[in-house]
Structure 1
């Protein structure tokens, strides 16, 4: 009995810890660090060079896709590489050029991409694609897995291109051509016309997305927006609250059962002397 109660409490606390970690992420930079840590925790030294491997994140990070691939710095510069939507052209420069480079590709999905609305000034624009990220870290023999060094990636002879064609896109009015958005480290957003349909040309590693100008609000928009926000809150509240409610219910009834058994034991213990006295009196009367 005690084991089951302890197991329930430990499970509840572990779920709460993971959930609080996800809820506490309010910045794009912090999300990068969390993804980096999970990537290196799942790192397998037997992974072959040039082969893309999927990183499995906890369930509370659902919607985020992460892939990793390691390269030799010199080979990456000579031949370039294709990492999902990112094409690194020949001559790509890694700074500093360590022996081995771990490249991490992110697709934040639409839910987690919304963090960029809070971290960057996107007023007047809205995302029509998930945020795609390209980062690199030292993967040499001297790598510190608890705090790996972030590396720079810069285009060389040929540019770095990002193909958003297969990325899930939010429906937007036909005839409107999205712009390429580059999210800079200083919190600014740079917009650029795509080289071709859904193809963005960039010069370095970072985070990118497609945006369009936000349509003017209609008369009924505020009420509709509040309704959508309310439904969103109800959905997330139910999703996060149900495990807590179930665990609380189990613990509550478990405690009630223990208290009931203690009362019954106490009642029997009190009645025992009375029964003994009654038997003694009957024996003397005889």
Structure 2
């Protein structure tokens, strides 16, 4: 299974490269900077939606950008920073998103996709077109001014609940798929809105799995609108687990404190008993008695009583 997952992750990387090359070949050079262009992939990849836009690197850093479901805030770091940057937005839809569920083993983590996988990648571009030797560029944001991914936008909500609630659903989490095969999960920023700190692939997942008979052994397709998305009744939420852990730790600390106090009291009583036994032994050996209000040792009378010599009386007689 591990080898299969590794091969699938490698396939996702190759898919990104294929999309990049096809985007470069079909990019319209006569479009002005900042104009979004839709890229039509071959028929066997027709379910994948691709948009691209070319921007000045300095403008991207100062003002940010918006393409599809991605909103890049101002103040991002672009490394390296060529004169032009080409952003490629990907929407893998319900069919191709399943390769991320399989490759990153979401079912092993008890998670299931409830949205298409969305990707945002950046490449270098020439002022008069696209680069002949393209390479990926790192677009890095901060937690205070992150990259926002809105899954309720018109281009991404086709596989979500048709009547989504404006309130946050605690059972939904944001998943970020990294190129090295790791997956990180985080809370939603708001209802169906995730935040990221760099370019990559994102999706919404849920911890509410269907009954075992309904689980797809093939690695998971998308959850459709018939699957519960906005309801409760799933697994124990994280905050309940955290509260239970805190209460359990508190009870454990109290019991440990009581045990320590009991050991100290027992030790003190033992010391007092030993002191009383030592005093009783000394009193018995020294015959301690009360002299006024003071306990003092006494000894037995061992002196010889004085006697008055009566020689002079014998001489007189």
Please point out which of 43, 61, 66 is paired with 1:77: 61
1:159 corresponds to: 146
Spell out the pairing of 1:63-142 with structure 2 (5 A cutoff).
63-122=47-106, 123=108, 124-141=110-127
Asked if structure 1 preserves the Cα contact closer than 8 Å seen for 2:9 and 2:104, the reply is no
1:169 aligns with 2:159: yes
Q: Write the distance in 1 (CA, Å) between the matches of 2:130 and 2:23.
A: 13
Is residue 181 of structure 2 the alignment partner of residue 184 of structure 1?
A: no
Q: Deviations over 1:159-201 (max 9, x none)?
A: 1100001312345999663100000122111000001000101
2:180 is equivalent to residue 194 of structure 1 = no
Moved over 6 A (4+): none
Question: Please, what TM-score do these two structures have when normalized by structure 1?
Answer: 0.64
After TM superposition, the score normalised by the length of structure 2 is 0.58
CA displacement at 1:25 relative to structure 2: 10
Q: CA deviation at 1:146?
A: 5.3
Q: Which whole-Å CA distance do the structure 2 matches of 1:42 and 1:114 have between them?
A: 27
- Report the CA distance shift for 1:185/1:26 in structure 2 as closer, same or farther (over 3 A): closer
Question: Per-residue displacement from partner, 1:22-59 (whole Å, max 9, x unpaired)?
Answer: xx997211110111111001022211111110001111
Residue 121 of structure 1, CA deviation = 2.2
- Aligned match of 2:270: none
More helix by share: 1
Matches within 5 A, 1:33-48: 33-48=17-32
Question: Aligned partners of 2:91 and 2:120: how far apart in 1?
Answer: 9
Measure the CA separation in 2 of the matches of 1:74 and 1:97: 8
Q: What whole-Å deviation, never above 9, does each CA across 1:102-154 have from its counterpart, x for those lacking one?
A: 00000000100011123212121110000000001010259875541111111
**38, 52, 56: which one pairs with 2:36?**
52
Q: How many residues align?
A: 203
Paired residue secondary structure (2:27)? coil
- Structure 1 counterpart SS, 2:102: helix
